[in-house]
Amino acid sequence: MANTEVERHTGVDVEEVPSAKWGWSKENHTLLQIGGLLSAAFLLFMIHGNHHGHVEDWFLIGFAVAIVAIVGRDWWMRRRGWTR
């Protein structure tokens, strides 16, 4: 007689990825968001340097703002349930 239990499909085949049984194949979105914010903070810390022009400062600020905007959008969309 066949088994009547419902097996949940997680999207990762255990035969291909043995660590999928322990849940290691999923992305940790919180860790990615923290990494993005730390990267933006590092870019802003690089403003304090030995360069004389301010063009570099504007590029660093622009990239930091872009990273924060991407992380903020990702956080907002996950909070609202628009993405998984």
Query: What is the per-residue pLDDT across 42-76, written as a single tens digit (0 to 9) for each?
Result: 999 999 988 888 899 999 999 999 999 999 999 99
pLDDT at position 1 is 65
How much is the mean pLDDT over the chain? 85
Query: What is the per-residue pLDDT across 6-55, written as a single tens digit (0 to 9) for each?
Result: 777 666 666 777 666 666 666 788 999 999 999 999 999 999 988 888 89
pLDDT at position 58 is 95
For tokens 């590092």, the residue is 42
DSSP of 21-60: GGTTTS--HHHHHHHHHHHHHHHHHTTSSS---SHHHHHH
CA distance 49 to 34: 24
CB 33 within 8 A of CB 76: no
